Amino acid sequence: MSVRETAVWGLLESVEGEDATREGLLETPARVAKAYEHWFSGYKSDPKDVLKVFKDGAEGYDEMVLETDIPVYSTCEHHMAPFFGVAHIAYIPSGAVVGLSKLVRLVDIFARRLQVQERLTAQIADCLNDELKPLGVGVLIQCRHMCIESRGVATPGVITTTSALRGVIKNEPETRAEFLSLIPMVQKRGVL
């Protein structure tokens, strides 16, 4: 048994009233170890490596680029419970653009780590800001947290919203308003 499988086995044995040796659980340690390898694969990737930047690839385009409803699947570092939802990312180019699929990959890399939503939001914004050097960056994430829905207050459907704004999207009220007006959340749409 691998170290991960042994850890899962220990958890199964600690569940009061469960028989960790019953047939349905015999392969669970291997399955969970494999799932965790996928869920935490973000540690194996450098986010900067996925941002394919095209210098003036948009021939001077300097208006907002926005991708909405990027799926987020992450794990809360406090309870190791899942949280999930959507990310909305905008940037205003300053001579360089990024491949659009790379924004999705950027979210995925940071999300596939033990996280808190606030840090996840800031990491995405900071990485994009540092690597692309745009005029502005806006990241807004909306998620449901299983640590809220399935334990503690046990209240389903609560959506947590976090934002990280940089440059003109933070400092210019009209640009911030444009960003927020284009996001489905502002239009009162739910998450998942």
pLDDT at residue 185, as a whole number: 57
Q: What is the pLDDT of residues 64-95, one digit of tens each?
A: 999 999 999 999 999 999 999 999 999 999 99
Angle (nearest 5°) at CA 143 between 185 and 102 = 85
Give the pLDDT band of residue 184 (cuts 50, 70, 90).
confident
User: Is residue 76 annotated as a catalytic residue, yes or no?
Assistant: yes
Given a cut of 80, whether residue 56 has pLDDT beyond it is no
pLDDT at residue 188, as a whole number: 53
User: Given 13, 27, 37, 77, which residue is catalytic?
Assistant: 77
User: Is residue 78 annotated as a catalytic residue, yes or no?
Assistant: yes
User: Is residue 187 annotated as a catalytic residue, yes or no?
Assistant: no
User: Is residue 38 annotated as a catalytic residue, yes or no?
Assistant: no
User: Given 115, 117, 123, 142, which residue is catalytic?
Assistant: 117
Q: Are 125 and 154 in contact (CB under 8 A)?
A: no
User: Is residue 145 annotated as a catalytic residue, yes or no?
Assistant: yes
Which are the contacts of 24, defined by CB distance < 8 A and separation ≥ 6?
Answer: none
Q: What is the pLDDT of residues 2-40, one digit of tens each?
A: 999 999 999 999 999 999 999 999 999 999 999 999 999
Report the mean per-residue pLDDT for the chain: 93
User: Given 88, 131, 142, 145, which residue is catalytic?
Assistant: 145
User: Given 147, 149, 172, 178, which residue is catalytic?
Assistant: 147
User: Given 67, 79, 149, 172, which residue is catalytic?
Assistant: 79
Residue in this structure with the two tokens 């965790």, named with its chain if needed: 36
User: Given 76, 88, 123, 143, which residue is catalytic?
Assistant: 76
Tell me the CA distances in angstroms from 163 to 44, 97, 129, one per residue in order: 26, 22, 14
User: Is residue 147 annotated as a catalytic residue, yes or no?
Assistant: yes
